[in-house]
Amino acid sequence: MTRGKPRTAREALTTGRFLLTAWPWRAYAHFAGTPVIAAMALAPLAIPAVPWLLASRLGEPTPWISMLVLVLAGGLLLAAALPWVAVPVARLERRRLRLVDDRPLGDPPRGPVRYGDPATWRAVAYLVLLVTVGAPLAAATCGLVLLLALLAGSPYLVDGTSPVSLGFTTVTTTAGAIPYAVTAGVVLVLSPYPVALLTSAHGAVARALLRDDGGPLRAELVEVGQSRARLVDLFEAERRRVERDLHDGAQQRLVALTLRLGLAKVDLPSDSPAYAEVAAAHDEAKDLMTELRELVRGIHPRVLTDLGLPAALGELADRAPVPVSVRADLPGRLPAPVEAIGYFVVAEALTNVAKHSGATQAGVSASRQAGSLVLEVSDDGVGGADPAGGTGLTGLADRAAVVGGRMFLSSPPGGPTVVRVELPCP
């Protein structure tokens, strides 16, 4: 059973009130319009088909080369004219599809007919199917429905004196027409079901062939998305290189300098002027080493590279100013860009908690759901978080969007606040 209001004729067929709704009439209207649309489309195609008509009327003495030229000319003219007929028909059919399918189909293609656009040739394929399959089937079905209506009303057509033809038989009396009328009436009442089924199939073909794929714009958007993914990978690789250089180069040299200053301080008398200078330099080197360690962690934490996202989230929780509980159900490693984005999203969210929420505790959860990495950061603060308030929420959304992710926010006044981020993770 479908839930809610049916949006297609196929969904309406599964409800128990199908015959009491407007869907049967919508299906009839769609079916009756199909031969009309096909006839309107065939009219302008008669002109390009003139060479074929000439070829069919030529006599036997006509050289075969002339026949071939006429046939080829007709084929070329028809192929060139088909898109110009198919595109307007497709636009009309997209509107007519609403009779049997209320779901949005997207905006129709605009501008002139483009022979290189795949949507144009899908429209041509739809027109060919409409003329060769859809229209004959619809016309035959409409004729059958009219015959059923004639049979149902046959008792009112006979006068008892002259025979009345019912197509496959004749009747002369009302009593003789009643069995046909009853049978036709029952079939006529049930006819919306097969008609709706056929229009559903027609609608499915129309939706498949007349869908909006964006044409050149969609291709450009795909290329932009691929370029963004490549830039993310390059940026992540460069950030890892900088982190590695700082960790293995500058940080190690600073550690060695700190040790040497410590040894020099031990060798000097504690009351000498040189001792005070060396001690001050030693303390400054230790502070600088702490700042450099934090800088390296901010660029790309080593624990994220070595142990993965769950361990990195645990480290974030340990450094947070408020108590943070972590629940990470992530079997195996994730793609490096997704792990990095997820880490920095949680880090920035916890920074917002410490700065703005007034919370006494927070929670972080990470899991994989339906091909996505789902991160949730919650707190028991005052709530009322607003992305327009400059609290870093816009930055979270931007970080998620880098890999095609989404951010959701729930922060009623009085709390709690929940930030949910979904990152594609195939």
**pLDDT band (50, 70, 90) for residue 260:** confident
Are both 224 and 327 inside the same structural domain?
no
* Residue where a domain terminates, one of 182, 213, 244: 213
Q: Decide if 295 is inside a domain.
A: yes
Say if 191 falls within a structural domain. yes
* Mean pLDDT of the 357-366 span: 87
Report yes or no on 269 lying in a domain: yes
Give the β-pairing of 164-165 and 417-424. unpaired
Sort 352 into a burial class: Cβ within 10 Å, 0-12 / 13-18 / 19+.
Answer: buried
Would you say 42 and 60 are in contact if contact means Cβ atoms under 8 Å apart? no
Number of domain units in the chain: 3
Range of the domain at 122: 9-213
- Is the same domain home to 82 and 126? yes
Q: How far apart are CA 215 and CA 119, in angstroms?
A: 7
In a domain, 347, yes or no: yes
Q: Look at residue 346 and tell me if it is in a domain.
A: yes
- In tens, the pLDDT along 315-337 reads 888 888 889 898 888 887 888 77
Residue 109 has pLDDT above 80, yes or no: no
Q: Are 122 and 209 in contact (CB under 8 A)?
A: yes
Paired sense of beta strands 324-329 and 362-369, if any? parallel
pLDDT at 231: 57
**Of 178, 213, 248, which closes a domain?**
213
Percentage of residues in the chain with pLDDT exceeding 70? 75
DSSP string over 60-127: TTS-HHHHHHHHHHHHHHHHHHHHHHHHHHHHHHHHHGGGTB-S---PPP-SS--TT-HHHHHHHHHH
Same domain, 246 and 385: no
Angle at 134 between CA 31 and CA 212, to 5 degrees: 90
Do 146 and 16 share a domain, yes or no? yes
Q: Does the pLDDT value for residue 162 go beyond 80?
A: no
Whether the predicted pLDDT of 409 surpasses 80: yes
Q: Tell whether 2 is covered by a domain.
A: no
Q: What is the pLDDT of residues 212-254, one digit of tens each?
A: 655 555 555 555 555 555 655 655 666 666 666 666 666 677 7
Q: What average pLDDT does the segment 402-419 reach? A: 83
Which of 284, 299, 314 represents a domain boundary (last residue)? 299
- Comparing C-alpha atoms, which of 136, 132, 106 is closest to residue 119? 106
pLDDT band at 68 (very low <50, low <70, confident <90, very high): low
Please, which pLDDT band fits residue 262 given cuts at 50, 70 and 90? confident
Tell me: do 295 and 203 sit in the same domain. Answer: no
Q: Look up the pTM and report it.
A: 0.47
pLDDT per residue as tens digits for the range 172-202: 777 777 887 888 888 888 888 888 888 988 8
Question: What integer best gives the mean pLDDT of the chain?
Answer: 77
Residue 408 has pLDDT above 80, yes or no: yes
Highest mean pLDDT pick, 43-47, 64-68, 378-382: 378-382
